[in-house]
A and B are shown apart, each in its own frame.
Chain A
Amino acid sequence: MKISQDEVRKIATLAHLEFDDRELEEFSAQFQQILNYFEQLQQVKTSGVDPLTHPLEEEPGTPLREDVRRPSLSNEEALAEAPKKSDGQFQVPRVIDAE
């Protein structure tokens, strides 16, 4: 599959990343090379094969624990590493317009 720089830019937007023009050029070339390598997967006959997403299917999977209250991090501990906080909450730039 051929990938254009526009497409790479679009994926970057989805991933919340940004590349300048020079980075974009280098990146697109590497990206193309890797995607070309991936092409070999299309040769494998896989009709009727279900994708494997968890390596231990015979295990009980992901069982849920009992829904009981347990102690968790205090508000102070949870906020201790936040780059910006106020009034016991994480602070982010304004999301909604002032209007």
Chain B
Amino acid sequence: MNEICKLTIVELQRAIAQRELSAAEVCGAFLSRIEEKDPQIRAFLKVDRKGALRTAASIDDALAKGEPPGPLAGVPIAIKDVLVTRGLETTCGSRILEGYHPPYSATAVEKLQQAGAIVLGKTNCDEFAMGSSTENSAYFATRNPWSLDRVPGGSSGGSAACVAAREAPGSLGTDTGGSIRQPAAFCGVVGIKPTYGRVSRYGLVAFASSLDQIGPFARNVRDAACLLQALAGHDPADSTTSPKPVEDYPGALTGDLKGLRIGVVREWLESSLEPEIADAVGSAVNRLEQLGCSIDEVELPHSRYAIAAYYIVAPAEASSNLARYDGVRYGFRAKSAGDLAELYRKTRTQGFGSEVKRRIMLGTYALSSGYYDAYFLQAGRVRRLIKEDFDKAFSRVDLLVGPTTPSVAFRLGEKLRDPLQMYLSDVYTVTANLAGIPGLSLPCGLNQDGLPIGLQMLAPHFEETRLLQTAHALEAELDVTTAAEV
């Protein structure tokens, strides 16, 4: 492997800005790595070789002219294929958008580009981000770089896998119920789901609008903080973004955690958690205590209902958001439809995969007359109780810590025939989306088979700095490798 691919985002930016390495050289190294490794990993749906090298050359030109380097100058980044990229095919892992070339780019992508980042390509994901293994992609399954017969997690599986395989130093994913944190845990990398409203979703193909957030993957906390810095902030094109000022995330990564109050969620350690994960989480908590944190047990009594509430709210919103795929304005259109209704029906039936259909059906049912109150409104009420549990917990502690997932990466095909089992793998992550709070998954060890274990940290709304500070201090103590030997 080219040594360049081992460098962190911070190191790459510094070397390019000081012109020790050219952006073209860096870009070329990662493109070669993708060429070499991606036939096995299959993290990328599309690699934009030409576009990436062209951008790299223009960054080198600008630096040669003495223009100031951006905070991500020349850093190659992979983008989950649910974010639109102008002129670069965007499919959301679905046949219904095959060949779609968006006329504009997502704000998150543009912000990275303005900071000097280079888009390497688009990464594989579960169709419309619906899934927990990336097996629901209409194109192919992505493999876990730590063990090729296992899933990388999902739905942002390609974005997590490419970082673990050093095909990219960082990437963007999206998290509606755990789709950044769960694959980060499975692939042994850092993943952040920011507060709802912290990062603009303009140009993110909508799945569940009251839950979706965009966030970064990287191999360490500082790199993730640098990406989040470029992403965060108000966007006039997304009215759900907050006008709150953005803090200096990389600047806040100081070591001292003395006096920080950490909460351990009782319910999370009682359920069907793999013992090795419980042990790894336990020793991470001990380290936090050694760093001067106080540890308290807290309760989130309604979190046991989170999966049920989530799998009503998210499909209900999805059934509405996905109504736009009708074969008229873009994407796939079924042939030989006699009338408009048949065109819609045939296009959607042939264009969507089975998990997407299942969720549209669940959502349509939950919103239909006669069931709206019992399902949709009841789920919304339970959602409020879940949020109030967090409010209560955060009145006593500053941060919650626990496992990101109940198991390590499972085998390909293992849960594919049983949708409910697949849903249950989101048991620790969905609550943060329902409450809108930020979360982070930090690699905290390997199990005896050498598979990564993720530690989840959750903070109150807009307390990303606290999350990053704590994760950064703990990361130094744990000294866990975050790149697979591939």
Interface residues of A (CB under 8 A from B): 1, 3, 8, 11-12, 14-19, 27, 30-31, 33-35, 37-38, 40-42, 44, 46, 49-56, 59-60, 62-65, 73, 77-78, 80-84, 90, 92-95
With A33-B420, A34-B419, A81-B329 already in contact, the answer to whether A46 and B360 are too (CB < 8 A) is no
Closest residue of chain A to B239, judged by CB?
A62
- Taking a contact as CB atoms under 8 Å apart, the answer to whether A73 and B103 are in contact is yes
Taking CB atoms, residues of chain B closer than 8 Å to A18 are 345-346, 349
Quick check: B312 and A38 within 8 Å, CB to CB?
A: yes
B380 touches A51 (CB 8 A): yes
**Cα separation A8 to B358 with both chains bound (whole Å):** 11
* B383 and A51 within 8 A (CB): yes
Query: Of B309, B330, B339, B344, which contacts A16 at CB under 8 A?
Result: B344
Do A82 and B328 form a contact, CB below 8 Å, given A52-B383, A63-B239?
yes
Identify which of B240, B368, B375, B376 contacts A11 (C-beta below 8 A). Answer: B368
CB distance from A56 to the nearest CB of B (A): 5
A82 and B312 contact, CB distance less than 8 A: no
Give Cα distance in the complex from A46 to B345, angstroms: 38
- Please tell me if the beta carbons of B419 and A92 are within 8 angstroms of each other in the complex: no
Interface residues of B (CB under 8 A from A): 100-101, 103-104, 195-197, 210-211, 236, 239-240, 242-243, 302, 305, 307-309, 311-312, 319, 323, 326-333, 337-346, 348-349, 352, 357-358, 360-362, 364-365, 368, 371, 374-385, 387, 419-420, 423, 433-436, 461
**CB neighbours of A12 from chain B (8 A):** 361
User: Cβ of B305 and Cβ of A41 under 8 Å apart?
Assistant: yes
Contact indicator A54/B361 (Cβ below 8 Å): no
Contacts of B364 in A (CB 8 A): 11, 14-15
Please measure, in the bound complex, the distance between the C-alpha atom of A95 and the C-alpha atom of B337, giving whole angstroms. Answer: 12
Which residue of B is nearest A97, CB measured?
B339
A12-B361, A15-B360 given; A52·B305 CB < 8 A: no
Which among A12, A49, A95 has the highest number of chain B CB atoms within 10 Å?
A49
Would A31 and B308 count as touching, CB distance under 8 A?
no
CB <8 Å contact, A94 and B305? no
Closest CB-CB distance, B185 to chain A, in whole Å? 23
Residues of chain B contacted by A37 (CB below 8 angstroms): 307-308, 311, 420
**Secondary structure class of chain A's binding surface, majority of residues:** loop
Whole-angstrom distance between the Cβ of A84 and the nearest chain B Cβ: 7
Q: Please tell me if the beta carbons of B377 and A51 are within 8 angstroms of each other in the complex.
A: yes
Contact A82 B387 (CB under 8 A): no
Establish whether residues A81 and B305, one from each chain, have CB atoms under 8 Å apart when the complex forms.
no
Indicate if the CB atoms of A82 and B330 lie closer than 8 Å.
Answer: yes
Which B residue sits closest to A39, measured CB to CB? B308
Asked if B305 and A80 make an inter-chain contact with CB atoms under 8 angstroms apart, the answer reads: no
CA distance A73 to B376 in the complex (A): 36
CB pairs A–B below 8 angstroms (14 shown): A15-B348, A15-B360, A16-B344, A17-B345, A35-B365, A38-B308, A44-B302, A46-B381, A52-B383, A52-B384, A55-B211, A56-B195, A81-B330, A93-B343
* Distance, CA A94 to CA B339, complexed state (A): 6
Report Cα–Cα, A37/B309, bound state, in Å. Answer: 10
A65 near B305: Cβ-Cβ < 8 Å: no
- Please name all residues of chain A whose beta carbon is closer than 8 Å to the beta carbon of B377 when the two chains form the complex: 51
Shortest 8 CB-CB distances between A and B: which pairs?
Answer: A55-B436, A51-B380, A83-B333, A81-B330, A52-B384, A46-B381, A62-B239, A49-B381
Provide the residues of chain A in CB contact with B195, threshold 8 Å. Answer: 56
A31 pairs with B362, CB closer than 8 A: yes
Instruction: Enumerate chain A residues within 8 angstroms of B305, measured Cβ to Cβ.
Output: 40-41, 44
Q: In the bound complex, do residue B346 and residue A93 qualify as a contact, i.e. CB atoms below 8 Å apart? A: no
CB neighbours (8 Å) of A65 from chain B are 236, 239
Collect the chain B residues with CB atoms within 8 Å of residue A84's CB: 333
Give the docked Cα–Cα distance between A18 and B342 (Å). 10
Question: With A and B bound together, what is the CA distance between A93 and B343 in angstroms?
Answer: 8
Q: Tell me the smallest distance from the CB of B219 to a CB of chain A, in Å.
A: 29
A90 CB contacts on chain B under 8 angstroms: 328-329
**CB-based contact B436/A56 at 8 Å:** yes
A25 to chain B, nearest CB (A): 14
Could you say which of A18, A50, A56, A80 has the most chain B C-beta atoms within 10 Å of its C-beta?
A: A56
Contact (Cβ within 8 A) B360 A17:
yes
The CB with the most chain A CB atoms within 10 A, among B333, B361, B376, B379, is that of B361
Contact B103 A78 (CB under 8 A): yes
Rounded to whole angstroms, the CA-CA distance of A83 and B382 in the bound complex is: 43
- Nearest B residue to A14, CB-CB: B364
For B197, B328, B434, the residue with the greatest tally of chain A CB atoms inside 10 Å of its CB is B328
